[in-house]
Structure 1
Amino acid sequence: MASTSVSRTVPAPPEQVWALIGGFDSLPDWLPYITGSVALEGGRVRRLTNPDGEIIVERLVAFDEAGRHYSYAILDAPFPVTGYVSTLRVHAVAGRDDVAEVQWSGRFTPDGVTDDEVVDLFAGIYRDGLEALHKTLSA
């Protein structure tokens, strides 16, 4: 099993960041890689569309409103992995009420590729996503 984690400080209080990203169906609001999201099964599953029209289906596996984090598993996606589980988390920054740290991490088993290849793939997705979040919150 491989894993990766990316963190980024963003220019907004944790409560504001969580209000934007904490909804399981909210990825299109801040992540350009996801152009559409349809909530299924009472909001516990999301059917995502990327700019190429590819479909990604994910299931919410844990949600903590007070702790400002959720975890999800990929059910179907065009990625070379199995057993993918990821967590998106918003942290307060000690001594600062005007910024937050966002951490996006995942663990997965490569399927037909090396650990390094999938770690690079998801680290890039997470890094680009957190950069997009930073831009959204800076606007």
Structure 2
Amino acid sequence: MADLFESAVLKAPVERVWDVVRDYNAISVWHPMIRSSRLEGIGVGSVRHITFNDGKAASERLLALADDERLLRYAFIDSPMAVTDYRAAMALFPVTATGETFLVWSGSYDDTNLARRRENEAIFREIFRSGLEGLARHCEGKG
């Protein structure tokens, strides 16, 4: 099992950032690596079909959406990545001293091919990092 996480402090109130993140179908609005998103269903259990800028596609099922905890969890149904049992979560916390948002994007997956593990980890980290940067730009009014 491989685990990873990326985190960032966004210069926007947690309520603003959560409004953006909780819209499960809007990822293509703020994530620079995602060209389009289409949602099938409503709420927990819905499936997000995303297309990356390189034309590859993935489908992700929404597993949890908790407004009180500001937590979103999802899992791959299918993806171009050669991994299994991929699950990810985004958790938001208020930085009370500054009015900013601390966001953690974490994931775990099985990858039995050790030769490929570092490559997969680098790809996931790039997806998370560029997503956090894009979300920051969007929520801070810079993008």
TM-score (norm 1): 0.91
Superposition pairs of residues 1-139 of structure 1, within 5 angstroms: 1-43=1-43, 44-97=46-99, 99-110=100-111, 112=113, 113-138=115-140, 139=142
Q: Residue 36 of structure 1 aligns to which amino acid in structure 2?
A: S
CA deviation vs aligned residue, 1:66-91 (integer Å, no higher than 9, x gap): 11111000011101211000001111
- DSSP 3-state at the match of 1:67: coil
TM-score (norm 2): 0.89
Count of aligned pairs between the two proteins = 138
**Offset at 1:111?**
5.1
| Aligned sequence identity (%) | 30
Q: Distance in 1 between matches of 2:65 and 2:21?
A: 12
- Mark the CA change 1:135 to 1:42 in structure 2 (over 3 Å): closer, same or farther: closer
**Offset at 1:14?**
0.1
- DSSP 3-state at the match of 1:29: helix
**Offset at 1:9?**
0.4
Q: Distance in 1 between matches of 2:128 and 2:104?
A: 9
Point out where structure 1 has 5 or more consecutive residues left out of the alignment: none
